[in-house]
Amino acid sequence: MSDINTQRRQFIKTSVGAAAIAIAPGMMLYATAHGKSEGASSKVRWGMLVDTTQCTPDCNDCVTACNKENGLSGGTKATDSQWIRKIEIKDVRTGVAHSLPMMCQHCEHPPCVDVCPTQASFKRADGIVLVDRHLCIGCRYCMMACPYKARSFVHETLEDQNPDVPRGKGTVEACSLCVHRIDKGQIPACAEACKNKAILFGDLNDANSEIYKKVRTVASDQIRADLQLNTGIRYQGL
Amino acid sequence: MRLLATLLLCMSFSVAWATEANTPKLDIGKGGECVRDTQWMRKNHMHLLKHQRDETVRKGVRDEQVSLKNCVECHASKSDNSVVAREDSFCAGCHRYEAVKIDCFECHASKRRAALAKKDEQ
């Protein structure tokens, strides 16, 4: 073996070693930083399956629970915030009636995000559609764009908000799928409060979750499926 | 030389006295040094809060230590559980002195969670 080749091998060995030493602490720091609090993951798609056959017209428990959890007044005037509301639908020909809760449908392709001029409306990696109130200028384009009338505007000054749910005058808000509860590993307040177990919450991407299995075995619909928004909230029995 | 030294000494006394007399006396609640030292925090807390707000809202990364909620839990006054209610409250006191308007608490809770929970029960 020639003298030049030996030197060359030695040089490559040293360089690789030096590079490893230089990169290792960075990699370790990265791992530590991400081990602490990883945040929302794009592997997850949070969703709900609402069984309208189990939802009764006189029950308002999901709405009450939502209002309490998020500190809403509970009023139903045009100027009051409503994150979830009960609606009754009836087929005029057959007379079949359904009662169901309506809220932000957490679309995969949300029109509210498309129209937002400040990027305050956004979709989190795990599919939850939210308003970043730090950026919201209160223009209400998103309220007009939403096919589900799911968003509300805060008209009055608020006090004593829930520390987990900051909300204030001049900004738009909507169902956050109780994001503060989800991040703690809990389920949304409405799903927990439903005594008929009509609201099933879970990860639509997790093959072991109940919701994953159920949407693949029973017929369920998206409201205004023709818009192809691929909503995270689905309804069974419509 | 001696004159210069005396002059410097006098000036430093007066500066010290002025700082003592004018700085706001704050009701720091529980206080303590949980993130960084006091002087560093006075200068940089807004950067930490602003960085964390984007991390939390947009990415769902919830770091307890630098969350505004956590600041309020410790630094709210022990008498009225608030960080902005009085002139010497932890946030309001300094911001009044510096003439910097804070709008955090138009949306965020300015009181300890325990105080708000008690109010709900009533």
Pair (A147, A118) in one structural domain:
yes
From A119's Cα to the closest Cα of chain B, the distance in A is: 11
Domain of residue A126: give its range: 46-236
Length of chain A: 238
- CATH number of the domain within which A95 lies: 3.30.70.20
Enumerate residues 160 to 189 of chain A having a beta carbon within 8 A of any beta carbon in chain B: 160-164, 166-169, 171, 179, 183
Alpha carbon of B75 to those of A161, B32, B48: distances in Å? 18, 9, 16
The more confidently predicted of residues B68 and A14 is: B68
Pair (A33, A61) in one structural domain:
no
At A33 the pLDDT is: 45
- Asked if B41 and B32 touch (Cβ cutoff 8 Å), the reply is no
Pair (A163, A187) in one structural domain:
yes
pLDDT band at residue B18 under the 50/70/90 scheme: low
Pair (A188, A222) in one structural domain:
yes
Domain of residue B98: give its range: 23-117
State which residue of chain A sits closest to B58, comparing Cα positions: A124
Pair (A110, A209) in one structural domain:
yes
Pair (A201, A91) in one structural domain:
yes
Backbone CA torsion sign across A127, A128, A134, A135? positive
**CA max distance for chain A:** 94
The more confidently predicted of residues A1 and B34 is: B34
- Asked if A66 and A74 touch (Cβ cutoff 8 Å), the reply is no
Q: How many domains does chain A have?
A: 2
pLDDT tens, chain A, 238 aa long = 556 666 777 777 777 666 666 666 555 444 444 434 689 999 999 999 999 999 999 999 999 999 999 999 999 999 999 999 999 999 999 999 999 999 999 999 999 999 999 999 999 999 999 999 999 999 999 999 999 999 999 999 999 899 999 999 999 999 999 999 999 999 999 999 999 999 999 999 999 999 999 999 999 999 999 999 999 999 999 8
Q: How many cross-chain Cβ pairs, A to B, lie less than 8 Å apart?
A: 56
Pair (A78, A151) in one structural domain:
yes
Q: How many domains does chain B have?
A: 1
Percent of chain B at pLDDT above 90?
Answer: 56
Pair (A142, A31) in one structural domain:
no
Most confident of A107-111, B34-38, B98-102, B110-114: A107-111
At B31 the pLDDT is: 77
At A9 the pLDDT is: 75
The model scores a pTM over 0.90? no
At A32 the pLDDT is: 43
